[in-house]
Structure 1
Amino acid sequence: MRPFFSIVIPLYNKEQYVLDSLKSVLDQTFQDYEVIVVEDASTDTSLEVISTIKSEKVSVIQHPSNKGLSASRNTGIKNAKGDYIAFLDADDFWKPSYLEELFLLTKSYPEGKLFATNYEELYPNDITLLPQNNAKNLAEKSLITTFFDISLAQPLYCPSSFCVAKSVFDTVGFYNESIRFGEDVDFNIRANTVFPLVYSKKPLVRYTMVSENQITQSAIGNKIITDFDAFDHSETSKSVKRFLDFHRYIMAKHYKAEKNMAAFEKMKNGIAVRNLNFKQQLLLAAPLPILNLIKKVKSFFLKKGIRFSTYD
């Protein structure tokens, strides 16, 4: 019998986390699912760790060589039996009612193709914070047709709180395997341009902010990122243009922090300054020592559960 959900877990060097991630799936109140772990040629004991899980729901697909996060997700999608694909990174965790909430969203909004919930950010010492996104301005459950307008802050959902009807990939394509940093941004643009988002503001996922081998914690270097220019043309709506410039701003700050000034200038030059708020304009123009100081101050307060941001 075909499962309702196919859960895709890309796995690369997450030996300290993946067992708890898998257990958070097996402990779900909604049990009509399969789990596909795509083992992406880990160099630690991740494969041995997951082999201790004895469940008919869990299958493992091994890549012969490391192919990256997008390729791992695509492998899972292409092997999925369910009509809905739920993603879980191997260092994140679901609260027990997460899949049940997604199931209820699919029944409440049968026209929906993209589904998500809010999440909690998990920092060291078990500090959890709600993201500074616009979920607070939404109803408990809603059909969002203005995704780009309300996403000029921290994301409404993280990769592990996102579920996609399998048919969506026939329309917008799979994850771009050439992108090695921020691949979710590329897919989110393509998917949310075509389909509305069905959303629950309940924070039912714990999103690990710092873990070993976490892509978002590593240097951009020469990694391929989303090609924002590919989406930015004369027919692009103003809301999408603002969204693109918001993410250009984020990437520009990354480049400046790494002293990659050529990439920083190129990214900055693509931004229409009017699409940034005053704080963001100041930070974009700030010298690197000031940015480093601000980063240290923010990190200090994050350890105390206090967050400052430029998103408002």
Structure 2
Amino acid sequence: MPTVSVITPTYNRADVLPRAIESVRRQTFRDYEHIVVNDGSTDDTPAVVAEYDDDRIEYVDLPNNCGAAAARNRGLERVRGEYVTFLDSDDAYHPDRLAITTTALDAQPDHVAGVFHPLVKVSGDNESVRKTPTGEITLDELVTANVICGLPNSAYRSRACDAVGGFDESLAYAEDYDLQLRLLREFTMVGIDEALVRCYGDVEGLSNDPLKVRQGLTSLLNKHREMLSDRNIADRHRRIGATYLRTGDEETARDHFEKAVDLWRDSYDRSVYELIGRTCLEVGHRPLARRYLCAALRRNPLAYRSYVLLLATFAPVEGQGAVTTLKSTRDGIISNIKI
């Protein structure tokens, strides 16, 4: 019986799937099984997996596309390991990832459902580290904000996932956060301070489908509204608003942004107007970005980040590229200042 089960759901990712599989095969910890669940792909996924002559890889072929939550549950049904971890088909583990998380889980008492760690976000040529807290966290902390971040940067006791019934297959998005909320009703989780996975943002996926993102966020909000903090509910409204903005419905987007403002401005130390302005800029709606960034500056004229973002609305590049360009320019100027 393997100690660790790695589950990788995949849908039409034949071009990047080898990156994920190879990152598991390069692990220094060897006592694992890798369950690859083909969620009804219509590309060359079966042929890609068939190229690997490795008895640690178990291939599960679903006849239809059922969604990430269902695909992960089909993987959970086949898990034999004491611990289970989830690797998306476009991401890659650090070679010591299984060794470090297994050692960390071995050291935890039974009431700890899993461990999590920072991750490296990769988008084109840009990389950044998404930091996460260290030490034990409880439900109270998770309902305030999604401090765990996601699935690729977490690992779990298999019995804990079984105890809460796995993933909610009715959710088209944020099913990972839903699982973690349900886990922390009965257990806790522990953060460790090493970035052990690279998450790539250069591949088209669910997070780029605004309708599914909206559906998932709305369902999550309705399901957990009573337990979520005002700040967390506000952030869901901000993200739902962004999906409407991406599909051209500015009026509904602004309705959700204003709900976020009403809930958030008195409960968070960072300007909600600045955050919404940045969201609008990343979506590519510069006029609305300027409106919220100017509102942020009226409330805090010394908010340096708001000035940087406002300048980015006039940059000759779109979306996140504008933010990245202005940050690079800012850092270059600062590095050349002589004190």
What interval of TM-score do these two structures reach, taking the shorter chain for normalisation?
A: 0.7 to 0.9
Q: Offset at 1:13?
A: 0.9
Q: 2:210 aligns with which of 215, 219, 230?
A: 219
Give 1:54-133 correspondences, 5 Å limit.
54-111=53-110, 112-125=112-125, 127-131=126-130, 133=131
Which deviations, in whole Å up to 9, do the C-alpha atoms of 1:80-103 show, x marking residues without a partner?
Answer: 111211100000000100001111
- Equivalent residues of 2:92, 2:198 under 8 A apart: yes
- 1:23–1:15: structure 2 CA closer, same or farther, 3 Å change rule? same
Q: Is 1:174 matched up with 2:196?
A: no
Matches of 1:48 and 1:7, distance apart in 2: 20
- 1:31–1:147: structure 2 CA closer, same or farther, 3 Å change rule? farther
Q: Offset at 1:34?
A: 0.7
Instruction: Look up the equivalent residue of 1:229 and give its one-letter code.
Output: N
Which residue in the other structure is 1:145 paired with? 138
Q: Offset at 1:248?
A: 2.9
Instruction: Look up the equivalent residue of 2:137 and give its one-letter code.
Output: I
Q: Is 1:296 matched up with 2:318?
A: yes
Q: Offset at 1:307?
A: 11
**Gaps in structure 2 of 5+ consecutive residues:** 290-311, 331-339
Matches of 1:180 and 1:206, distance apart in 2: 23
- Equivalent residues of 1:70, 1:176 under 8 A apart: yes
Matches of 2:45 and 2:23, distance apart in 1: 17
Instruction: Look up the equivalent residue of 1:218 and give its one-letter code.
Output: D
Which residue in the other structure is 1:209 paired with? 201
Matches of 1:219 and 1:307, distance apart in 2: 31
Matches of 2:128 and 2:271, distance apart in 1: 22
Q: 1:198 aligns with which of 190, 201, 218?
A: 190
- 1:168–1:145: structure 2 CA closer, same or farther, 3 Å change rule? same
Counting aligned pairs with the same residue, the percent is: 20
Matches of 1:143 and 1:260, distance apart in 2: 41
Instruction: Look up the equivalent residue of 2:175 and give its one-letter code.
Output: E
Q: Offset at 1:117?
A: 1.8
Helix, strand or coil: the match of 1:186? Answer: helix
Which structure carries more helix by proportion?
2
- Equivalent residues of 1:30, 1:99 under 8 A apart: yes
- Equivalent residues of 1:178, 1:224 under 8 A apart: no
Which range moved further: 83-92 or 116-125? 116-125
Q: Is 1:184 matched up with 2:181?
A: no
**Gaps in structure 1 of 5+ consecutive residues:** none
Q: Offset at 1:232?
A: 2.1
Matches of 2:165 and 2:257, distance apart in 1: 29
| Runs of 4+ residues deviating >6 angstroms | none
Q: Which has the higher contact order (CA 8 A, sep 6+)?
A: 1
How many pairs does the alignment contain?
A: 294
Larger Rg: 2
Helix, strand or coil: the match of 1:180? Answer: coil
Q: 1:280 aligns with which of 259, 272, 281?
A: 272
Helix, strand or coil: the match of 1:224? Answer: helix
Which residue in the other structure is 2:26 paired with? 27
Matches of 2:275 and 2:323, distance apart in 1: 19
TM-score for the superposition, normalised by structure 1:
0.82
Helix, strand or coil: the match of 2:223? Answer: helix
| RMSD of Structure 2 on Structure 1 (CA) | 3.0
Helix, strand or coil: the match of 1:55? Answer: coil
- 1:215–1:306: structure 2 CA closer, same or farther, 3 Å change rule? farther
Matches of 1:216 and 1:115, distance apart in 2: 24
Helix, strand or coil: the match of 2:196? Answer: strand
- Equivalent residues of 1:246, 1:276 under 8 A apart: no
Helix, strand or coil: the match of 1:197? Answer: strand
Which range moved further: 106-115 or 279-288? 279-288
- Equivalent residues of 1:121, 1:129 under 8 A apart: yes
Q: Offset at 1:191?
A: 2.2
